Amino acid sequence: MSLLNQIIAAVFAVLIGLVSGTIYIMSDSSKSMLLNQLESHSLDTATHLGLYMAPYIAEQDSAGIETIVNAIFDSGYYEKIQVTNYDREDLFTALRSPEISEDVPNWFVKLVAFDTPIIEREVTHSWSKVGFVIVKSRAGYAYEELWKGTQTTLIWFITLSLVCVVFLSTLIRLILRPLKSIENQANALSNKEYLEATDIPKTKELKSVVITMNSMIKRVQIMFEEQSKNIEELRKTAYIDELTGLANNRSIKAQLYDRLDKRNDEGPSALYYLHIAGLTELNEKLGQENVNNLIKQVAEKLSTVASNHSESVVGRLTGSDLVLLMPRPDNETVTREVNSLLDMYKELFSFYNLENEAKIALHICIVFSDEGDSAAQILSVARVGTEEAVNTQVPSIYKTTANKNTDASSEDWKAHVADSINTKKLFLQYQEVLDSKDDSIVHKELLVRILNQEGDPCAAVRFIRIVKELGLIQALDKAVIEHAVEHLNRQPDCDSLAVNISQDTLHVDQFDQWLIETIKGRSIANRLSIEVNESSVLNDVERIVSFRQLLNSNNIGFGVDNFGVHPSGFSYLYKVQPDYIKIDGSLCQEIENNAEDRFFIGSLITVAHSLSIPSYAERVEHSGQIEQLQKLGITATQGFIHGKPKNLV
Specify the CATH number of the domain 249-400. 3.30.70.270
The per-residue pLDDT for 425 is: 86
Residue type at position 289: E
Quick check: 57 and 125 in contact, CB under 8 A? yes
| Distance, first Cα to last Cα, the chain | 49
The per-residue pLDDT for 488 is: 92
Specify the CATH number of the domain 411-647. 3.20.20.450
195: helix, strand or coil: coil
pLDDT in tens, 133-173: 998 887 777 777 778 877 887 788 778 878 877 887 787 77
How large is the average pLDDT for residues 508-513?
A: 89
Quick check: 541 and 575 in contact, CB under 8 A? yes
The per-residue pLDDT for 115 is: 72
Phi and psi angles of residue 281, each rounded to the nearest 5 degrees, phi first: -65, -40
Quick check: 446 and 497 in contact, CB under 8 A? yes
Nearest to 275 by CA among 391, 357, 400, 370: 391
The per-residue pLDDT for 267 is: 65
How large is the average pLDDT for residues 609-631?
A: 90
How large is the average pLDDT for residues 579-599?
A: 88
Q: Buried (b) or exposed (e) across 576-601, using 16+ Cβ within 10 A?
A: bbbbbbbbbbbbbbbbeebeebbebb
Parse the chain into domains and list their residue ranges: 3-173, 182-239, 249-400, 411-647
**Separation of alpha carbons 196 and 204, rounded Å:** 18
Domain 3-173: what homologous superfamily? PAS domain (3.30.450.20)
The per-residue pLDDT for 408 is: 43
pTM for the model stands at: 0.63
- For the chain, the average pLDDT equals 83
Predicted confidence (pLDDT) at residue 112 exceeds the cutoff of 80: no
Predicted confidence (pLDDT) at residue 627 exceeds the cutoff of 70: yes
Q: Which helix (H) or strand (E) holds 632?
A: helix 623-632
DSSP 430-468: EEEEEETTT--EEEEEEEEEEE-TTS-EE-GGGTHHHHH
Percent of the chain scoring above 90 in pLDDT: 23
Predicted confidence (pLDDT) at residue 195 exceeds the cutoff of 70: no
How large is the average pLDDT for residues 401-415?
A: 63
**Separation of alpha carbons 232 and 470, rounded Å:** 39
Determine how many CB atoms are found less than 10 A away from the CB of residue 130: 20
pLDDT in tens, 381-396: 999 999 999 888 888 8
How large is the average pLDDT for residues 280-308?
A: 87
Residues 6+ apart with CB under 8 A from 608: 573, 581, 614, 615
How large is the average pLDDT for residues 214-226?
A: 74
pLDDT in tens, 308-335: 887 788 999 988 899 999 888 888 889 9
Predicted confidence (pLDDT) at residue 261 exceeds the cutoff of 90: no
More confident residue, 501 or 101: 501
Quick check: 451 and 425 in contact, CB under 8 A? yes
pLDDT band, residue 264 (cuts 50/70/90): low
**Separation of alpha carbons 515 and 528, rounded Å:** 12
Radius of gyration of the chain (CA): 47
Query: Could you give the count of Cα atoms lying within 13 Å of 282 in the half-sphere of its Cβ?
Result: 24
The per-residue pLDDT for 300 is: 92
The per-residue pLDDT for 79 is: 80
**Separation of alpha carbons 279 and 284, rounded Å:** 9
More confident residue, 307 or 580: 580
- Which range scores top for mean pLDDT: 69-78, 178-187, 191-200, 473-482? 473-482
The per-residue pLDDT for 614 is: 94
Predicted confidence (pLDDT) at residue 405 exceeds the cutoff of 50: no
Determine how many CB atoms are found less than 10 A away from the CB of residue 473: 20
56 burial via Cβ count (<10 Å: 0-12, 13-18, 19+): buried
The per-residue pLDDT for 189 is: 63
Q: What's 582's DSSP letter? A: E
The per-residue pLDDT for 475 is: 92
DSSP 506-563: HTSTTHHHHHHHHHTT-S-TTTEEEEEEHHHHHH-HHHHHHHHHHHHHTT-EEEEEEE
The per-residue pLDDT for 274 is: 94
The per-residue pLDDT for 359 is: 64
The per-residue pLDDT for 407 is: 43
**Separation of alpha carbons 28 and 111, rounded Å:** 11
The per-residue pLDDT for 96 is: 79
Nearest to 492 by CA among 529, 528, 530: 528
Determine how many CB atoms are found less than 10 A away from the CB of residue 308: 11
Predicted confidence (pLDDT) at residue 77 exceeds the cutoff of 80: no
How large is the average pLDDT for residues 414-437?
A: 90
